[in-house]
Amino acid sequence: MPQLDVRESASPPLTIADAAGTEADTVLARLGSAPGGLAADEAAERLAQLGPNAVRTHEASGWSVLGRQFRSPILILLLVTAALSLSLGDATNSIVIGVIMLVSVGLGFSNEFRAERAAEALHSRVTHTVVVLRDGTTREVDVTALVPGDVVQLGLGAIIPADLRVLTATDLLCDESILTGESLPVGKDPAPVAGGAALGDLTSCLFMGTVIQSGNCTGVVVATGGQAEFGRIALGLGDRQPQTEFQLGLKRFSFLLLQVAIGLTSLIFIANLLLHRPLIESLLFSLAIAVGITPQLLPAVVSTSLATGTRQLAKRKVLVKRLVCIEDLGDMDILVTDKTGTLTEGRISFTAALPVTDAVSADELLTLGLLATEADYTGAKRSVLGQNPLDAALWESTQAAAFEPSRYQRLDVIDFDHQRRRTSVLVRDAGGPARIITKGSPEDVLALCGATAARVQALLDEQFDAGSRVVAVATRAAAGTEDISPADEKDLTLAGFLVFLDRPKAKAKESLDRLNALGIKVKIATGDNAKVAEKVCEQLGVLSGGTITGVEAEAMSDPELSAAAREASIFARVSPEQKARIIRLLRQSGGAVGFMGDGVNDALALHQADIGISVDSATDVAKDAADVVLLDKDLGVLADGVMEGRRIFANTIKYVLMGTSSNFGNMFSAATASVVLSFLPMLPGQILLNNLLYDSGQLAIPGDRVDKEQLLAPAHWDIAFIRRFMFLFGPISSVFDFATFALMLFVFNAVPGEFRAGWFIESIATQTLIIFVIRTRRVPFLRSRPSLGLLCASLGVVALGVYLPLSPLAGVLGFDPLPVPFFLALLGMTVVYLVLVELAKQWFFSRSAQQQAAAPALPGVRRRGTDHHVARRAARFSSTGSRTRHSRRGPLVPRRGRPGRRTANRVQGPSRPRNS
């Protein structure tokens, strides 16, 4: 194969605008390539020189995680408090706060870094490939391995992997809305365009990140990674990612804490000033209260929960693109899925050719079907790579072995699209006259053939009733015709039906039962015939709530379709736009909707869903649009993912409820005592140490057991519920704090050091042990046992809290020794406290307000803008940080001598799965 060495050329750099106005042969030459593509060793050398075709890195960077710890507002508050203490000569308090800061940062860093490492491991499990020509033969390579000069082959639904110059094209339309904002597709062809044309007018080029809407093509890569137009936009966005419902809930919760903290600390500060307390001491104490009321390790707890979840899901063959999507997976209460591969085996086999006229034999009908495939039949016989499942089944059938491609000359082809639902070709047989062959859905093909005979309709209904997939084939003479358009698809004569079989999965019934037990309604959206979908449901023993066809959906208004969609179980012969409309209306009617699809026609619906789900074998456009990728297309695997998502949410809420109620109660007690007492009830450093100790013990919550009933329905953030919980259980905690104050003052006549030691121990014991009551709605220990890790961690923290005021560090921390009778009183008070909290819990959850809160909340319609789609699509062009070295300095520079290595321009950010 002729191969021009790029290093021997002295041409200036080739930009995509230059390539658009240059003849294709010249572009190949300037890129050191040829129609047969690059040599494999040349491609490898260019990859080493330029780095991967990536605009993101999913490397888990320790420095990045550490930087996020130091951007925490809580940490800034701690720094201010420590600096003020040091400036006032209170070195001890400053050292204590400094140690607390280091421990807090260390815990947060270790847990978040583990979470990122877990996500990094998942990235390598999901890949996108592209068909390239190297050494004159086709092969699949990872999309990040493309280099300038590679010749790629692309078809319907493909996401353009780099900026390309079109070499050949057939009926090529490209959706460039992600770059230009224009919703209408743009026609593409190899003809050069005039110089100075705008980006949207470069019809001889294809741009990274855009999608082929119809047709197919070959093209040569001109620019990759950050040098491509889309790459520059993606790099400009940085690492921003669209927020999930879980993240929005965390934001609302943080705002609630901010309101409480500002109100409480302001009152404390003003009250202390009115009592003529020292200004700086009052300020430090107020700052400590503000920090103390905040669950400092909430990010670490969430990260640990998500990291634990990802490891569990990976074992179950469920990969999430972003860790927080696990929470949204647990929210799902409606699942709309396709039929093929989920309810059926997904292994489509050709079973029969049924002619409807004596003029056509079964073998001739099969030949017509083989001719009417989108792929060139001269290559399709050797490999079914890239073909749709029905065409692939035809070529893999034993009867196809007798097909002789040399007898036929293809003159033109109209590729399949989801509006027409058919493919047409113009073919000449052994030099004879040309004819049009159309193959597609029976309803659409029969509409082009005039009246349908009763026996033909009966034959078709018989196949549908048996659950078979059927493709109709029709033909007509077209002598003298050299090319065709959709307008030529008329006056056809039906030749017969090609019958395919896709058997129901053996475990589908079990999987559907599991989803039903989880409170998830499963609905089927398929492009197949309604009778076929209903037959599959019947074979699986699934009771159908009714069927809506695409034609019926089109005739309904939004309110009518919304009401009908809530009841219906099957949506048949629906277009991509209709699927997306159904998903949107289901969401507006109050459901948290998941959509599972793997085809080109599923992308719109995947983007509309609350949680988009695809599979590793899906088309690029489907994997790109999805939030979750299943390595095994099995609803049982999906059920595992839902349970894990709900388990993580349940454990996160445990920490939130415990932290807010205990923190609020303790800080309210501290605020009250600071006004009543002549001394501070606890020093700022002691408050922070107390908060850090019990927070650290709760890092075991992510691995805790979850009661079965908590997994049977989706849960959502309910700030009103959290507020009610906080204002009930917080004061209960304060009552026992006040009892401790009275015990220390009136029974033991405690001095400030003793008072602080006694309250420190009581506070640690009560607010740590309360987790065993709050973690379940059942009777703790008897009907719901905590995990061993949580039990050991909590008891260990209490033991450490009791030990510190008795340890050699007591003087440094500001504690004085306590009398032995105090510990007996503490034991009794703790037991009474936990019993009272249990009784209050039973009363709280029996009230109607909490019963209503347990019902799924209405999530509302999620608004998704351009940045959302760019960020999602950019994630597919991602590699490990050690290999992502693409710069923005421009495309490959051909020159004499060995090219120099380029500098890195990595985009470091939250972990994302590679190419997904």
Contact 726, 660 (CB under 8 A): yes
Q: What is the dihedral of CA 731, 736, 741, 745, to 10 degrees?
A: 140
Contact 256, 49 (CB under 8 A): no
Pick the closest to residue 421 from 579, 581, 573, 216 (CA basis).
Answer: 573
Main-chain dihedrals φ then ψ at residue 369, nearest 5 degrees: -65, -40
How far is CA 865 from its chain centroid? Answer: 16
249: exposed, middle or buried (Cβ count in 10 Å: 0-12, 13-18, 19+): buried
| Beta bridge partners of residue 174, listed in sequence order | 186, 212
Can you read off the two tokens belonging to residue 450?
Answer: 């005039």
Inter-axis angle of helices 279-292 and 684-697, nearest 10: 10
Under DSSP, the state recorded for 784 is B
Can you read off the two tokens belonging to residue 156?
Answer: 């319907």
The long-range contacts involving 476-481, CB below 8 angstroms and separated by at least 24 positions, are 476/435, 476/436, 477/433, 477/434, 477/435, 478/426, 478/433, 478/434, 478/435, 478/436, 479/433, 479/434, 480/433, 480/434, 481/411, 481/426, 481/434, 481/436
150: exposed, middle or buried (Cβ count in 10 Å: 0-12, 13-18, 19+): buried
CA distances, 552 to each of 461, 555, 569, 584, 817 (Å) = 20, 5, 14, 17, 80
Q: Which of 18, 338, 488, 704 is catalytic?
A: 338
| Beta bridge partners of residue 163, listed in sequence order | 223
Contact 498, 369 (CB under 8 A): yes
Pairing of strands 570-572, 547-549: parallel
Cβ-based neighbours of 678, under 8 Å, separated by 6 or more:
none
Under DSSP, the state recorded for 7 is G
If phi > 0 it is left, if psi is from -120 to 50 it is alpha, else beta; for residue 386 that is: left
Distance CA 454, CA 781 (A): 71
Decide: helix, strand or coil at residue 602: helix
How far is CA 610 from its chain centroid? Answer: 10
Distance CA 559, CA 574 (A): 18
**483 catalytic, yes or no?**
no
The residues assigned a catalytic role are 338
